[in-house]
Structure 1
Amino acid sequence: MTAYRRTLAPLALALGVLAAGAPQADESDHELARQALQQGQVLPLRQVLDKVEREYQGQVLKIEFERDDGRYLYEIRLLQADGRMAKLKVDAVDGRVLKIKRKGEH
């Protein structure tokens, strides 16, 4: 398997386009993410998810990939161990969590 395919295979699986019960993402998200990853503009999704799951102790339910004001972002919905839902905006370039919004918080 080429390095390109080894890198993109986990991305496709992590985006949940084909895997039942995996986080869901929009097909256009997948294509934009694939292109950005191929061009070396973003971190692999698996790397970002590992960090988020470790630091925020939860299960990823949904992932969106977008470009906002020229910045690539992963928007990740996470069901945390305490049962709360968290929505994280993560910089896709360096993996920094830019914003966290938990359901029920203002």
Structure 2
Amino acid sequence: MMLLRLLRVILLSACIGIAPVQADSRQDHEIARRALEAGEILSLRQVLERIEREHHGQVLEVELEQEDQRWIYEVKMLRRDGGINKLIIDARDGRVLEIKGRHGRQLGRDN
């Protein structure tokens, strides 16, 4: 399984006016930008708008990875009860593939 870390964003810092954490390297940033421009992935804004409608909590961290030729957003959310869920999202269409977390639903990954 090839795992390519592309983007790490801490949204809390953006809320208080600090620049978000930068991607691990300039090359990774360029790969992510090209994937977005080619229509291979949805923008982070589109994905967050979709999940925030269905999942209540505060987004803490987002990563974009390429896993087995598939783009995946991993979103960590702080739930209202203080627990943390990790949502695995298909970056092409914004579909939630899996939710991991204490007391969270476990959904199997689709192919």
TM-score normalised according to structure 2 size: 0.68
Offset from partner CA, 1:44-87 (integer Å, 9 cap, x none): 11010011112111111111100000000000101112221000
Alignment partners' CA distance in 1, 2:31 and 2:58: 24
Local SS of the residue matching 2:39: coil
Whether the aligned pair in 1 keeps the contact of 2:72 and 2:91 (CA below 8 Å) is yes
The percent of aligned pairs where both chains have the same amino acid is 48
Aligned partner of 2:24 in structure 1 is 27
Offset from partner CA, 1:2-45 (integer Å, 9 cap, x none): xxxxxxxxxx9x945xx871365643454332121011111111
Greater relative contact order, per chain length (Cα 8 Å cut-off, separation 6+): 2
When you count helix as a share of all residues, which structure comes out higher?
1
Gaps of 5+ in 1: 1-11
Q: 1:36 to 1:97 in 2, by over 3 A?
A: same
More off after superposition, 20-29 vs 77-86: 20-29
Tell me how many residue pairs correspond in the alignment. 92
RMSD: 2.8
Q: Which runs of 4+ in 1 moved over 4 A?
A: none
Whether the aligned pair in 2 keeps the contact of 1:25 and 1:62 (CA below 8 Å) is no
Q: 1:103 to 1:30 in 2, by over 3 A?
A: farther
More off after superposition, 27-36 vs 65-74: 27-36
User: Which amino acid in 1 is paired with 2:64?
Assistant: F
Alignment partners' CA distance in 2, 1:53 and 1:32: 26
Aligned partner of 2:17 in structure 1 is none
Gaps of 5+ in 2: 1-6, 15-19, 107-111
